[in-house]
Structure 1
């Protein structure tokens, strides 16, 4: 038995035939010390509803409950995992709700009940898409207090990147605009089953109360255009949005490239788009 009184995860996976599926972007984290570390990175969970995406056999789910989460809502599209999650639910009566479905089709704000934290070892194939959705709702501050998410190290570096760095792009602008984001720690590939080809990192994001005022759709358009042709000068890459005239209105040199612009300058551009 593990510290939480439930069977070891390897035994659960074997008993339920839960070999990870590449098509679902699955890499299971079996080390309960590491899942506990992810749960702790989310801060105090008592009194919080924690939303988890892609729990798989439930390693992180168990850590969240063991760490005192008031309630965990786990969204899992792989029906093979539901029986293993039901065992965890029985062990923690009334504290785990499992939703069988696709996270990309889920209205997360409708799951909110009291303070909400999102904590997940995200499936690799939908992680960035989900993060962008959580960063770009019309209404802000959002329904969640924080995001504690696992990504490939390369994606994590893009989320926390600052202007001028090679990793700086659309993700860095949107995350930096609306949240304070930092890499909490790295997770070696050997910790997963099967081991992915790269190191992973846990990123912790806390929403800013009052980010710089900008229309989220226009900021999305200007970052997409600018970084879509990142090797070109801005006068070329943002041509479809107003080109040199737009840049001159904002006092931005049209010969600069996207990765040199600060978040404030991107916001200025977004606000100047007609």
Structure 2
């Protein structure tokens, strides 16, 4: 897509955007200091673009508990400044958020209007970023997604491939349920949204987008091992057996009906996305 400005270059979604939209302008951290929100805003003001996607974030969930200031700059203040600059410029601004804005209670999918209650610093800063984007005015869209994976970067799939080849069994959390989401599908959805928002200034808002069907981390691991042919048994454990500095939401199910209704974007089958990721990993190794 011509005229697209993307914040992010090395992250999973940004790399997939680069594959799908090679003509876009990508701003890595060497060019866009996300801890300097005003500088990020100036980049938008000075760039000839038709739409902006923020695919950059502070995603170290556990580290954020002790590095809250940096997380807030990157996840909250920078997106707000970007959105304000995009609004001033009169171009659509798209921002990627997370299921961590919810507390994970219950067992039903959360719709976009469900009350938010983040459990930790990461979720709180991402929620503040959403609020900053919305408050900036202009034309904006926020995509909350979950459990992102791809053939590059650090993610659950690559960790399971490494450990599954080394061990005959693994204990995996089974009481956290969500939608694993291929980064490539996120990137494709963002491009569809950006194109439609450029064409129709009335389009935008808050959306959920996650892979289907919903699964536990243990289910996800089993599918990885089955598709790769690894003989590694998965033993289900509760989250209480695997304590982390930041609490994870148990229920990360997302109701994705609004993005389907407004943009015609359906939930992707993450198992098909996983097959492609495993092929890419095998080819790259």
TM-score norm. by structure 1 comes to: 0.35
Q: Which has the higher contact order (CA 8 A, sep 6+)?
A: 2
TM-score norm. by structure 2 comes to: 0.34
Rg: which structure is higher? 1
